[in-house]
A and B are shown apart, each in its own frame.
Chain A
C-alpha cells in the first residue's frame, strides 16, 4: 500500500476514477479520518449525480432531422460555419461568467426591463443583503474596527459624504462595509448585527433623480427593504425584522445619514 499524504486534489481524482488502484485503500482511510474532506467528497458526488440527471434526457431525444440530413448529405454542406444563433447563447454565458456570483446578481438587473428606480434600488439592496449577510467570514470588505477608513473609502468611491449611523440604541453594532455595483453606478453596503446575530444592512447609492420613499419586499417571509430616494442619493435599510422594529432602525439611520451628508 502506498504511503503518501492526500489532499483535496485526490478527492477529484477518486471521483473521476483517476486515482491509482494501489492508492485507493489508503485514500479511503484518509477520507474516513477527515470528516471535512469526507463531506466535500459526498457533496461532489451528489452534485455530479444532479448534473448527470439534468442532462440525461438529451440522449433520449429524437435527433432533429436537420442534423441527420447533414450527415446523409441531403443538406448542402456549407464551407463557412452557419451564421447561427448559438454564439448568442455563448455571449450570454460569457456575460454571466464575467462577474462570477456578484456579476450574476448584478446581471439580473441588466437583463430585465427597466424597473422604477426605487424598485431597482430595493431589489439591489435585498439581493446584496441576501448574498452577504449570510456570510460569516467574508460578509464585509472593511471591518468596523477600521471605521474611519471604511467611511472615507466608501465616501470617495460612492461620491457621497457617508457617515456610518450609530444604531446602538436599536441594539445593532456595525460589522463593516463593502463597495458594490448598483446599475451604472456604485453603492456602499453597511452591515450591522445585534446581540442575537440578526443582521440588517444599509445600502446607499449616489444615483437618484427623484424623491420618493416606501417599503418593498415579497409577500413571503424574506427580508424587506425600507427605502427612500432624494435628489442625489438613495438609501435602503434591509432586514428580516418585524416591520415596526425595522422602521425604527430605518428612521434612526435615515436621520443620521442625512445629517452626515449635510455635515
Chain B
C-alpha cells in the first residue's frame, strides 16, 4: 500500500468524527465519509505532494456536505421527508449518550449548517482560523462571525433545553 493511501486511512477516525458532528446519525455520517473517500481515491492525482492529507480530505468532505445541503434546501425536500427525518434524528440504539451529550448534540444539529461546520472545525477538530477558512472556502472574517454566532446560538438552545428539561413539558 502506498504512502498516500496509508495517510488517508489514518484520517478516517477524524473524518468520521467531523461527519458525526455534522449529521448526528452514525450510518448517515459514515455514508458521507464513504462518499468522501470514494471521491478522494478518484482524485488521488489532484493531491499535491506536501499538502496535509487532513486538510485535503476535510475540504472534499465539506464540499460534499455543503453541496447536498444546498440541493436539499433548493428542492425543499426537507419539508417532504417527515418520517425519514424523524428516523435520522433518532440516536442509534447502540450509541450511549449522556443527557448532557444528547442535549449538546441536538443543539448543534439545530444551528445552521454553515455555522455548525465553522464551529466544529475550530472547537472540536482544532483547526486554526486560517486553516478552517481555507477548508470551508470563506474569508477569515466570515468564519469568525459564523463561529461567534454559532456559539451564541448553541448557548441559547442549551438554555432552552435545560429549561424544557426542568419543566418536563411534553412526554413522548
Contacts and interface: CB of A to CB of B under 8 A. Distances in A.
Nearest to A124: B170
A263 interface: no
A3 interface: no
A220 B165 CA distance: 11
Interface in B130-172: 144, 147-148, 151, 153-158, 160, 163-164, 167-172
Contacts of A77: 38, 41-42
22 contacts: A18-B129, A47-B151, A54-B104, A59-B14, A63-B9, A70-B34, A70-B38, A72-B1, A85-B88, A88-B28, A89-B23, A89-B25, A91-B78, A91-B88, A97-B113, A104-B110, A112-B172, A127-B169, A130-B167, A218-B169, A222-B167, A222-B168
B41 to A, nearest CB: 5
Contact of A86 (B28, B82, B170, B171): B28
Interface in B37-71: 37-39, 41-42, 64-65, 68-69, 71
Label chain B's interface by main secondary structure: helix
Interface of A: 8-9, 12-13, 16-18, 43-44, 47-48, 50-55, 58-59, 61, 63-64, 66-68, 70-73, 77-79, 81-82, 84-98, 100-101, 104, 108, 110-112, 123, 126-127, 130-131, 134, 218, 220, 222-223
Contact of A63 (B12, B81, B122): B12
A90 B68 contact: yes
B123 A16 contact: yes
Which of A53, A77, A93, A223 has most chain B Cβ within 10 Å?
A: A93
B9 A71 contact: yes
Given A63-B12, A91-B81, A96-B109, A101 B160 contact: yes
Interface in B78-133: 78-79, 81-82, 84-89, 97, 100-101, 104-105, 108-113, 116, 120, 122-124, 128-129
Contacts of B123: 16, 48, 51-52
B3 interface: no
Contacts of A61: 13, 16
A91 B104 contact: no
B23 A59 contact: no
